Every structure is written in structure tokens, then in C-alpha cells.
Chain A
Amino acid sequence: MNEPGDRVRARSRREHRVSGGALACVLMAVTLSGCSDALQSTEQHRLDAPRTVNGDPAKGRDLVAAVGCGVCHTIPGIPGATGIVGPPLTTFARRTYIAGIVPNEPTALSAWVSNAPSLLPQTAMPRLPISHDDATHIVAFLYTLQK
């Protein structure tokens, strides 16, 4: 194994937690710290309900593969999507907040996918060359990630 690489990677994870997601952490902590189990399960129930999204999840999946989202994210169902730069998108459909700042709902997510900095200027996730329609398909795909 390549030790320098490993060390660098380990550092990358650590720093990421501290700096990149600092805001997210704070918000998450605030939101979740008071949650009781009961509350959580109601929340869960609301999020599990199918969201009405016009996009085609299969198309969205292809787009996620074609754009290369997996370079930064771990995404179930996308070969090679084992990125460690951003948060894993496993169970993304049940995620409460996008990047810990805006509630996870289709319009916001669509905007986030194509132009994350417009919602959170400090983010490391760049603006991506994804059209509005494509973003809708990607959102549809992301909402299939239940487990």
C-alpha cells in the first residue's frame, strides 16, 4: 500500500469533518440533539412517503454515472462510486437536510445538484454542468436511495 496516500486520505477525512462540513455539523447537532425516538419515527414516516418528482430515476442514474458524482460520493447502485470527499448518498431519500442547511425536498435538491454554491457558498461542491431537466432526473434517482 501507499502509505503517503493513506495518511493523506486519513487527514482528508479528518479535516473534512472539521472544516468543510462545519456548518452542517452544527445544524445537524442542533436538529438532532433534541429528537426523541418517537419524534424521529414520525419524521421518518413523512420522509418515507413517496415524493412526487417528475424525473425518471433510471435516466437520473445514468446521469449520475456520466457526470462522475461517484468521484466524491459513495452512491449505491453506481459502479465505482466510492468517493470519500463528500457525504455518502446511501439512504439519501431519508436524509433530513441537504448539506445540513436546507430541508431535503425536490426543488431545493434540484438546485443543489446543479448549483450547490448558490445555496451554500462555503461548499466544496462545485456548480455542475447539469440542466434543469437532468437535475430533475437525478433528484428522482436520489429519492430511490431508501436503504
Chain B
Amino acid sequence: MTTNAQDDARTEKPIAKGDLPNTLPRPEGELDELERIWSPPRGFHIVSAVNNIYVGVWYVGASVLFFVLAGILALLMRAQLAMPESRLIGHALYNQLFTMHGTLMMFLFAVPAVEAMGVYLLPSLQAARDLPFPRLSAYAFWAYFIGGLAFFCSLFFGLAPDGGWFMYPPLTSYTFSSGINADFWLLGIGFIEISAIAGAIEIIVGVLKTRAPGQSLDKLPVYSWAMLIFALMIVFAFPAIIVATVLLELERAFHWPFFLAEKGGDPLLWQHLFWFFGHPEVYIIFLPAAGMVSMIVPAMAQTPLVAYRLVVLAIIGTGFLSFGLWVHHMFTTGLPALSVSFFSAASMAVSVPSGIQVFAWIATFASGTLQWKTPSYFVLGFLFIFTMGGLTGVMVAMAPFDWQAHDTYFIVAHFHYVLIGGMVFPLFAAFYYWAPTTSHTPLSERLGKIAFWLMFIGVNITFFTMHLTGLMGMPRRTYTYIAAMGWGPLNMISTVGAFMIASGVLVFLIDLAKNFRPFRAKAANPWNAGTLEWLPTGEYQTRSIPIITSREPLWDQPNLARDVQEGRYYLPGAPTKTRETIITSPIDARPQYLLRMPGPTWSTVLAALFTAAFFFGLTIQIYIPAFACGALAIACVIWWIWDTDPGPDVPPVDIGGGITLPAYVTGPVSHSWWAMIVLILVAATAFACLLFSYFFLWTVNPQLWPSQPASFPHLRWPAISAALYLLSSAAVFAAGRLLARVPNRSAAPAVLALIAAILLIPLPVVIEALAQQSAGLSPSTTSYGAITYTLVAWQGFFAAVLMLMGLYTIARSLAGRLSAERRVTFDNTGLFWHYGVTQGLVTLAIVHLFPRILG
């Protein structure tokens, strides 16, 4: 088994300048072989491709599709509002339109678009051949694309959600939204959450572990930094919305009261959970876009970014601060003045990091000479619009002003300035800037500038006017307004502006249709940019993986492009005859091992299809087909991961420069271990959100928590449960020790230990449920019962997942794919097992001890 110490020893060799790792000429056929190995399948089977350049472009394309669709919904709304008291669109459709517009733009355009750009760009920015889990990216894309389309189609059946993208209960609970429209929202975004988290895990491990040698953290492109923080924010923010949607769906489906005041719930619980996700969400969207701008500005100004360290600090600071702001969406709920003041101050503080970035870009402009090309236009447009949005943001951070502006068109204006300025314009700049990395013709400068002016003027006409409409008192989310209010002319102006924006987007689409030809030989480096994505590439991304000594290697390392292309750097071929990339250490990017990656597969596409079918089956209440699809989805996932733990069947590989890397590692060096740790962080955050819900409901209605010891289950039950948990953990631990003797001795003892663990893990959940039931607790009578059973059910879900993982591990063992050396699968199962047991023990402690402490 490989250890850290060995790794460090192996990579101790200093990276020498001028002394390239590999010599010329390269062996005949090396490049052809590399090209062949990385080529995606042709014809219809291209769908099964997993290369990040393919998946990334499709992913971006899908997000643009949803941008256009959501934009069309916005145009319909603007048409309705152009005239007062218009009867063009009834209230029923209008309410669906604004709900879907917000939901699509946030969940199906903005987050996927920036994630997609990350999938597409990160490997080439870091000279990796692909992201560490190509099939996971493919799954994230297909789940999003298939599920998103199906979700959108709910509009055509009048089944689209109509409770607003924020879905505040009790309006969205079973009493006031009895149709399945709200379920479409809840289950519909379930897979989007899955997709976002899958992408985030991929990006965290990708940024930290697949870099060009020498690309230490202080040389990491700002965009990589932004994506790292972006993905970490998803890890900590999305679990809150997952928990919120689970709770609301439980309330809707089984009448477990979490948000119903008459049964001890509280509508504000939803608001806290939603905005704990929802506010970081804004920065989740903005940070990657700001990262893009920090790449585009230096290239367009032909000079390194000024104050790189400050900008990186600003990105990290934004990440932290954004989790302390969510209450500013709730200033009008009647919170105590103290907490209003605290969150008001925090909301203002978050504008400082943005200020740093804005002035760093201005300073960069000052130190260089701007190329007047379309990306520059969009970046300058972004600066103006985003600054406007930031300034109105400071205004609404002032609680007294927010009491007036909240939920008026002033807010609509504000966040459209922030999101269009902060995300859409950088994204369009990015489209024009990076299109040449995949398309053999760049996008048109002429059409690009026309698109820019239409969009820039259109945005200001539409949304500047909305500030005034809001100041004149027009609330949001209203399908009509009284003519006598005098808001008609302003609304008409906004509508005209909206159609202008649409025409700008149309020009962009025409440009795409005319010029964008992805996956072809790319144009040269048209902007003379300095970063690695402008190295020559093929299907394999980078012919050889360079050593980096600068933040802008193409500017500072002479002949880099030529040497890379000729194969003079690391890993010029495919020594193990499979797809490979170099895994590097997270801080200083020293090569650690060679990652062998799986190739194209239909399994991810089918897994995504069945996942979407599972969720939609549940939504439209066809349970048997739904669960069948769920089972098929799991089967496809197993098919997909079956090949991903190849084992140490290949000897260490010489990648050049005297560096020999193992082709298989286990333990904390492994990318797989990192991914599991991130997954556990996601699970732990979700669990923390559940505990928050438990304590929040208690503070609202402490009288519902039992005070008589007689009404609790006897303590022997949790004691037995705890013992069973510990036993199962011990069994897994023992299995690990027994596995160390395989294949020298039989694998049977390890398998038996695992079977014991699998049999033990569900028992505490069953005991707990029965104990609560026999103590007379009902999940649908009070919020106490509801949240207690939810904790139990949550643990039940984990027990089920652990059993599945255990069975999978046993299957690997029976197939001879598990041994002392080849044990990544087991290690992951073990890690998650111990986490699950810990979570179970904490659950027991809270459920049984907390009410007793109170009593």
C-alpha cells in the first residue's frame, strides 16, 4: 500500500528550468495512440462520450437553451405587464411564468452554466487531460439536461409550480397548493441539486488534485480559485435546500407539520433554510463569473492581473461572508432589531470584496493596453451594470430602506442588475473569449458588438426603469396593476427594453449558428493570452503536461507551446494504454500518481435518464414505475463505477524527467478519498441543517417537546441502538483488517464481517421507529413528532445507502476485485460507514437526551 512518505520521497526531485523532462524525437505512433485513446465514439454513440470538452460544451449549450427558454417566459410576462389591467395572460399562467422564470434562471441556467464552464475550462487551464471523474461530469450533465427539459414541459400541461421560486409555505403546503404543481418544483429540482453537488465534488477534487506540475496555489489561475470556492459553497449551501425540499415534500405528502403554525411548525423555518442556501447561491453564481473576468481582463489588457493575492483573498472572503447574510432576505418578517442590525452590517461588509475585485480590474486596465474586442465590451458592460447592482445592493442592505423596497420592483431591478451584470455579461464575454478554444472559427466581432449594444442598452432600459416603478410602489409578483396607479408608461418602457435584450440574445444565437463549430481544430491564441487553455490541444487536451513557473506561463515561459506540442514535457503519450492524467498534491502541485480514467459509457446517460424518470414518476404519482426506474438508476450507477477501481495491475510509469509515478494508490493521497471526504461534508451539512430545524422548531414551540419522562421511549432502546451502531462500525473496521490479508488468505472472513455490518446497520433505525411509535408519538400531529421521525427516517436513508454500498463492496470481493492492495472501494465504504454511524449516534443523543435535559 502506498503511503504519503513514499510519495513525498518520490517527488522530491526539484523541477529544473531549461531541462525538459522528455527528449525528442518522440517515438513513432505515440501521438496517434494518444489521439485514438482519447477520441470519443463516433456517430450516435457520441452521446456516451465523457471527455470534458464534449460534456462541457453540451453542458454550456444546455444552459444557454434554458436561458433562452426562461427568457421567453420573461417576455411573456413583460407583454402582460406592458399595459395596466391587461387580460393577455391570466393570473394562473402568470404566476406559473414568474415561478418558472426564477426557477429556470437560477437552477437550470445560472448554476449549471457556471458549473459547465468549469467542466469545460478547468482541465485545460490546469493542463490536465480531463477532470478526475469524467463519468460523474457526464452524469451531472445528463441528469440536469433530461430532468430540466421534463421539468420545463410541466408548463405545457398547466402543472408548472406557481408558488414563486422561493416557494414560501404555507402558500405552497397542502392546504393552499393542493395540486401537484408544487411537487414538480420540489422533486423537479431534486435532480438539479444532485447534479450540482456531483459537479461540485468533481470541481473541488479537480482543482486541488489535477494541476500542471509546479502550478502551486499561488500560481493557480484566479478562475480555478473562484471555481474551488464556488464548489465549496455548493457543498455547504445546497444541503440546506435539500433539507428544506425534503421537509416540505414530507409535509405535502404525509402532512408532517414543519411549517404549519397550527401544529407547531413555523413558516420562518423554511425561510431560514431557503435563504441559507439562497443567498450564497447569488455568490455561487457571481464568483465563477468574476473569476472569468479576472482571466479575460489581463488577456484583453495584455498585462498580468494587478493585486492577484488581494483578488484571491476577496474571493475566499466572499465565500465566507456570503453565509452570514441570509437573514437580509427576511428583514420584513419582524426580527429583533439586534439581529437586523447584525445582518445589515454583514450585508454591507460583503461589498468590500467586490470592491477589491472591481478596482483590481480597473488597475489592470491602467497597467495595460486594452484590445477593443467583443469580450472587452462585455467586460466593461459587466463593470457598469454590476457596479449599479452592487450600489443598490448596499441600499437594500440598509434595513429601513429594505422595509420599503423589499418585494417591490426596486428589488427586481436590483437583482437583475446584479445577476445580469454579475453573471450574464461575464458569461457572454467568456463565450466570445473562449469560443476559439473549441471552434475553428471565432465568433463574429461585428455580430458580437451588435449583440452587446442591444443587450447593454436593453438591460438599462428595462431595469433602470424598474427602480422607479418600485419607488412608486409597485410590488413584485403581481400579474396586473390598476391603471390609475400611473405605472403603465414605466412598465411599457421596461417591456420595450426586455424585447431589446431578447433581440441581442437572438443576434448572439445567429452568431453561434453561423460561426460556432465546436470540437474542431481550434484557432490559434487570438487574444495572445497567457494561460494554459491557449496551449495547442487535441482530443487529449495537452500533448504533454508542462511544468509551470508562472501565473501566465505562455507569456513568461518561452517556447512553452512548442515544447508542449512536441511532447517534451511530462506524459507525452499513453503509457498504460488508457486515458490518464497526473494527480498532483493540493498545495504545491507535485506529481503524486498517474490516474487511469474510464472512457465513454452509456451507463451515465442511462443512470441520468432513470434518475429523472424516478423523480418524475414520484411527482406524477406512478409509484411502481418510479421505483422500478430508481432501481434501474442504481443498477446503471453500479455498471458505471464497476471499472473505476482498476487496482495495481500496472507497474509504476515513467512520465519523463526521471519521475516515476504509481498508477494506483489508496488512502488520503487518492482522488477518490478526497471525493468521499467532500461527499461526507455534504452529508454532514445536510444533517446539521436537520438539527438546526429540530432546535429551531423547539425554540418556536418549546411546549410541544415532552416534559414527562413517561412519554419518552425507555432509555434502554437508544442504548441498544447505540450498541448495534458501534458493533456495525466495529465489523467494518474488522473487515478492513481482514482485507489486509487478502489475497494471501481467503476473503471470506472480511466478507462475513461486512455481511454482519450490513445486517446490523438497519436495526437501530427500526428499533428507534418502533420505540417512538410505542411511546405514542405521531409524526403528523405536532412539529415535535414530525422532526423526530424525520431524523429517524433520515438515518434510515443512510442505513439503506450503507447497505447498498456494503453489498457492492461484497460483490467486488466475490468478483475478485477487492484485496489488500486494491481496496479503494472498501476504503470509501468504510469512511462513509463510520460517518453514518457517527450521525446515527448523534441522532440518538439528540432525540433521547435533549428532551430529557429539558425535562
Interface positions, chain B 161-196, Cβ under 8 Å from A, are: none
Interface membership of B87, Cβ < 8 A: yes
Interface membership of B153, Cβ < 8 A: no
B729-761 vs A: 1/0 string, CB under 8 Å?
A: 000000000000000000000000000000000
Please give me the residue from chain B that is nearest to A2 by CB atom. Answer: B92
- Considering residues B84, B90, B483, B488, which has the most beta carbons from chain A within 10 angstroms of its beta carbon? B483
Interface membership of B83, Cβ < 8 A: yes
Interface positions, chain A 44-80, Cβ under 8 Å from B, are: 65-66, 70, 78-80
On chain A, the residues within 8 Å of B84 by CB distance are 79-80
Interface positions, chain A 74-108, Cβ under 8 Å from B, are: 78-82
Interface positions, chain A 1-37, Cβ under 8 Å from B, are: 1
Task: Tell me how far the C-beta of A79 lies from the nearest C-beta in chain B, rounded to whole angstroms.
Answer: 4
Interface membership of B86, Cβ < 8 A: yes
Which of B87, B92, B484 meets A65, CB within 8 Å? B484
* A79 close to B92 (CB less than 8 A): no
Task: Give CA–CA (A68, B253) in the complex, Å.
Answer: 44
On chain B, the residues within 8 Å of A79 by CB distance are 83-86, 483, 488
* A82 close to B87 (CB less than 8 A): yes
* A1 close to B484 (CB less than 8 A): no
Interface membership of B471, Cβ < 8 A: no
Task: Give CA–CA (A77, B90) in the complex, Å.
Answer: 20
Number of A-B contacts (CB under 8 A): 23
On chain B, the residues within 8 Å of A80 by CB distance are 84-87, 480, 482-483
Please give me the residue from chain A that is nearest to B92 by CB atom. Answer: A1
On chain A, the residues within 8 Å of B480 by CB distance are 80
Please give me the residue from chain B that is nearest to A68 by CB atom. Answer: B484
Task: Give CA–CA (A70, B480) in the complex, Å.
Answer: 15
Task: Give CA–CA (A80, B488) in the complex, Å.
Answer: 12
How would you classify the secondary structure of chain B's contact residues: helix, strand, loop or mixed? loop
Task: Tell me how far the C-beta of A25 lies from the nearest C-beta in chain B, rounded to whole angstroms.
Answer: 27
On chain B, the residues within 8 Å of A82 by CB distance are 85, 87
Interface positions, chain B 480-537, Cβ under 8 Å from A, are: 480, 482-484, 488
Task: Give CA–CA (A79, B482) in the complex, Å.
Answer: 8
Task: Give CA–CA (A56, B480) in the complex, Å.
Answer: 29
Task: Tell me how far the C-beta of B491 lies from the nearest C-beta in chain A, rounded to whole angstroms.
Answer: 11
On chain B, the residues within 8 Å of A70 by CB distance are 85
Interface positions, chain B 60-105, Cβ under 8 Å from A, are: 83-87, 90, 92
Task: Tell me how far the C-beta of A2 lies from the nearest C-beta in chain B, rounded to whole angstroms.
Answer: 9
Task: Give CA–CA (A79, B92) in the complex, Å.
Answer: 20
Task: Give CA–CA (A70, B84) in the complex, Å.
Answer: 13
Task: Give CA–CA (A56, B487) in the complex, Å.
Answer: 25
Please give me the residue from chain B that is nearest to A80 by CB atom. Answer: B85
Task: Tell me how far the C-beta of A93 lies from the nearest C-beta in chain B, rounded to whole angstroms.
Answer: 22
Task: Tell me how far the C-beta of B618 lies from the nearest C-beta in chain A, rounded to whole angstroms.
Answer: 26
- Considering residues B83, B84, B85, B90, which has the most beta carbons from chain A within 10 angstroms of its beta carbon? B85
Task: Give CA–CA (A119, B771) in the complex, Å.
Answer: 80
On chain A, the residues within 8 Å of B83 by CB distance are 79
Task: Give CA–CA (A3, B488) in the complex, Å.
Answer: 31
On chain A, the residues within 8 Å of B483 by CB distance are 65, 78-80
B32-58 vs A: 1/0 string, CB under 8 Å?
A: 000000000000000000000000000
Task: Tell me how far the C-beta of A54 lies from the nearest C-beta in chain B, rounded to whole angstroms.
Answer: 26
* B87 close to A66 (CB less than 8 A): no
Task: Tell me how far the C-beta of B631 lies from the nearest C-beta in chain A, rounded to whole angstroms.
Answer: 38
Task: Tell me how far the C-beta of B157 lies from the nearest C-beta in chain A, rounded to whole angstroms.
Answer: 14
Task: Give CA–CA (A66, B482) in the complex, Å.
Answer: 11
Task: Give CA–CA (A70, B85) in the complex, Å.
Answer: 11
Which of B85, B484, B488 meets A66, CB within 8 Å? B484
On chain A, the residues within 8 Å of B92 by CB distance are 1
Task: Give CA–CA (A70, B83) in the complex, Å.
Answer: 15
Please give me the residue from chain A that is nearest to B85 by CB atom. Answer: A80
Task: Give CA–CA (A80, B359) in the complex, Å.
Answer: 49
On chain B, the residues within 8 Å of A1 by CB distance are 90, 92
On chain A, the residues within 8 Å of B484 by CB distance are 65-66
On chain B, the residues within 8 Å of A81 by CB distance are 85
Task: Tell me how far the C-beta of A59 lies from the nearest C-beta in chain B, rounded to whole angstroms.
Answer: 15
Task: Give CA–CA (A66, B483) in the complex, Å.
Answer: 10
On chain A, the residues within 8 Å of B90 by CB distance are 1
Task: Tell me how far the C-beta of B176 lies from the nearest C-beta in chain A, rounded to whole angstroms.
Answer: 14
Please give me the residue from chain A that is nearest to B87 by CB atom. Answer: A82
On chain B, the residues within 8 Å of A65 by CB distance are 483-484
Task: Give CA–CA (A1, B86) in the complex, Å.
Answer: 17
Task: Give CA–CA (A50, B820) in the complex, Å.
Answer: 102
Task: Give CA–CA (A78, B83) in the complex, Å.
Answer: 11
Please give me the residue from chain A that is nearest to B158 by CB atom. Answer: A1
Please give me the residue from chain B that is nearest to A70 by CB atom. Answer: B85
Task: Tell me how far the C-beta of B156 lies from the nearest C-beta in chain A, rounded to whole angstroms.
Answer: 16
On chain A, the residues within 8 Å of B87 by CB distance are 80, 82
Task: Give CA–CA (A116, B752) in the complex, Å.
Answer: 94
On chain A, the residues within 8 Å of B86 by CB distance are 79-80
Task: Give CA–CA (A65, B488) in the complex, Å.
Answer: 14
Task: Give CA–CA (A102, B352) in the complex, Å.
Answer: 74
Task: Give CA–CA (A70, B92) in the complex, Å.
Answer: 22
Interface positions, chain B 597-626, Cβ under 8 Å from A, are: none
Task: Give CA–CA (A82, B90) in the complex, Å.
Answer: 13
Task: Give CA–CA (A70, B87) in the complex, Å.
Answer: 13
Task: Give CA–CA (A1, B85) in the complex, Å.
Answer: 18
Task: Give CA–CA (A70, B484) in the complex, Å.
Answer: 13
Task: Tell me how far the C-beta of A55 lies from the nearest C-beta in chain B, rounded to whole angstroms.
Answer: 21
Task: Give CA–CA (A1, B92) in the complex, Å.
Answer: 7
Task: Give CA–CA (A80, B85) in the complex, Å.
Answer: 4
Task: Tell me how far the C-beta of A83 lies from the nearest C-beta in chain B, rounded to whole angstroms.
Answer: 11
- Considering residues A66, A78, A79, A82, which has the most beta carbons from chain B within 10 angstroms of its beta carbon? A79
Q: What are 23 residue pairs bridging A and B, where the CB atoms are less than 8 Å apart in the complex?
A: A1-B90, A1-B92, A65-B483, A65-B484, A66-B484, A70-B85, A78-B483, A79-B83, A79-B84, A79-B85, A79-B86, A79-B483, A79-B488, A80-B84, A80-B85, A80-B86, A80-B87, A80-B480, A80-B482, A80-B483, A81-B85, A82-B85, A82-B87
Q: What 5 A-B pairs come out closest when comparing CB atoms?
A: A80-B85, A79-B483, A79-B84, A79-B85, A82-B87
User: Assuming A1-B90, A65-B484, what are 7 further A-B pairs, CB within 8 angstroms?
Assistant: A66-B484, A70-B85, A79-B86, A79-B483, A80-B84, A80-B87, A81-B85
